Amino acid sequence: MKTIIQTKTIIIVLGLLTFLSGKAQVSNPKLLKTQGSNEYEVVSCALEDHEGTLWFGTSGEGIYRYDGKVFTQFSVQNGLCSNLVSALLEDRYNNIWVGTKNGLCCFDGKTMKEIPISNAPTSQVYCIMQDKNEMLWFGTADGVFCYDRMNIAPFLGYGTIINDTGITLKNTQCIFEDKKGNIWFGSGPMAFEGLSLYDGKTLTKVNLNNEDWIRNIAESRNGKLLFTTRRFGIFTFDGKDFTPFVAPPELKNVLLTYCLEDSKGTIWYASDYLNISDITTGGFWRFDTKSFTEFTKKDGINNTAVSFIFEDSNKNIWISTRNIGLYKYDGKTFTNFSE
């Protein structure tokens, strides 16, 4: 009996020491919220790593890693700069880069480390992109920074970039490299610089319907770029002209948050909700090139305020809603992974 009591005591002490050391991780079959996030928090970004493991960044609960069975949570107690995560990217060396409200972190498979960004170590990192030359690009509140595996430095300080219009690239929300190697920058709140393009020599302001807030940039299977804007919906770019892109007529442009073309060519729309005279607009929509389909509570989505969409390698569509809601759609059924 004494031995059993001693063993239990040792287990309890070890568990307490693990907790106090800040290394404890929470694992659960669903997204178990532990950081006191509120109903407006969301899953803000996702990636699938080289092993097929899924990673989800949130705006209040840190990161969840999903191995197909359980979610393991990483928070500030595990080395994150902040529990507000805006961006995730796996580089070509299998490191996981994490953009947070308080700077940049990198996970090498064992340890989560904070990575200072030049003279702005705690600047919010909104987006991360790796180009075809393996350069990492970070869009932050203080501008765009580049990492060449040696140093992180301000992009506007590299070489002799022609920037006649004085673009600051502050509060860059999205960065995208097209097939020609051009780098596109989408600006957001506070800076409101809209869309910019870097062709390798010159940084140019691009007038997209006088829009000053670009939410997302993606590329369709036909090579056209898709731009999700704050006020005017979605536009496509064929290399010469911008054209309004088809969207459900019931949706309000200002509610669109994300647009995704999946591997089959299906278009998915994420949008927030707005109650007007008891009529709710927004939600989650699909366009199969012929007709629109809206998915609602009767289909298995309990929250129609959708902020983010992601497709994994098994063709599943993952949907983020308010209150850290996460659903998987396998083409037939929605599965709720939120606690």
State the pLDDT confidence band at 174, using cuts at 50, 70 and 90. very high
Each residue's pLDDT tens digit, 305-314: 999 999 999 9
pLDDT at 25: 72
Q: How far is CA 277 from the centre of its chain?
A: 32
Are the beta carbons of 183 and 176 closer than 8 angstroms?
A: yes
pLDDT of residue 58 exceeding 50, the answer is yes
Give CA separation, 200 vs 52, 137, 155, 163, 197, in Å: 34, 14, 12, 12, 9
Q: Global pTM?
A: 0.90
Which backbone phi and psi does 113 adopt, to 5 degrees? -120, 145
What six digits make up the tokens of 54? 């899924």
| Tokens 């098994």, residue located | 314
Average of per-residue pLDDT across 194-201: 97
pLDDT at 292: 96
For 245-284, b where at least 16 C-beta lie within 10 A, e where not — what string? Answer: bebbeebeeebbbbbbbbeeebbbbbbbbeeeeeeebbbb
State the pLDDT confidence band at 293, using cuts at 50, 70 and 90. very high
Average of per-residue pLDDT across 146-161: 90
State the pLDDT confidence band at 302, using cuts at 50, 70 and 90. confident
Q: How far apart are CA 118 and CA 109, in angstroms?
A: 24
Each residue's pLDDT tens digit, 113-128: 999 987 766 789 999 9
pLDDT at 244: 96
Give CA separation, 134 vs 55, 137, 182, in Å: 21, 9, 14
Structurally, at CATH architecture level, domain 246-339 sits in: Beta Barrel (2.40)
What six digits make up the tokens of 194? 């809209």
Q: How far apart are CA 36 and CA 214, in angstroms?
A: 30
What six digits make up the tokens of 19? 């907790």
pLDDT of residue 273 exceeding 70, the answer is yes
State the pLDDT confidence band at 187, using cuts at 50, 70 and 90. very high
Q: Name the residue ranges covered by the structural domains of the chain.
A: 246-339
Residue whose C-alpha is closest to residue 34's, from 2, 3, 63? 63
pLDDT of residue 22 exceeding 60, the answer is no
**What average pLDDT does the chain have?**
90
Question: What percent of the chain lies above the pLDDT cut of 90?
Answer: 79
Cα separation of the two ends of the chain: 39
